[in-house]
Amino acid sequence: MASSESPAGERYTALVAAFLGRPGVTHGSEGPVTRRAFGSDALKVDNRIFAMLVRERLVVKLPRKRVDALVAQHDGQRFDPGHGRLMKEWLALDPGSEQDWEAIATEAMAFVAAGR
């Protein structure tokens, strides 16, 4: 799990606690993890990632148009997993964004659960 020493880590820990117990939701640290892989500390619905903490930012999967709108509002950037290719349906929320983490994660969970 993310470090609870940082403010973002504390917020993510609270977010995980808020989502666990919802139908189909699991957390990446449940069960054996043999290596530190992409999404190993992620929130998942039906075994598909919808939210994770990466480099102290909440990263969520949303429809491309929603990501475009949040980027235009300066709430975040398209997520780059580290290979230089921006992911069009993934948003890395800016630390200073006023977006509610639980609300945006709920939106992401619904998008992913719908199979998109």
pLDDT of amino acid 65: 97
Domain spanning 7-113: which CATH class is it, in words? Answer: alpha beta
H or E stretch covering 106: helix 101-113
User: For residue 53, what are the β-bridge partners?
Assistant: 58
What's the confidence (pLDDT) of residue 85? Answer: 86
Q: Give the sign of the dihedral formed by CA 116, CA 110, CA 88, CA 44.
A: negative
Question: How high is the pLDDT of residue 95?
Answer: 87
Q: For every one of its 116 residues, what pLDDT tens digit does the chain have, with 9 covering 90 and above?
A: 444 478 999 999 999 999 999 999 999 865 444 444 455 689 999 999 999 999 999 999 999 999 999 999 999 999 998 878 899 999 999 988 999 999 999 999 999 999 85
Nearest CA to 108 out of 53, 57, 66 is that of: 66
- Give alpha helix (H) positions in 40-100: 64-72
Residues in the chain, how many?
116
pLDDT at 35: 41
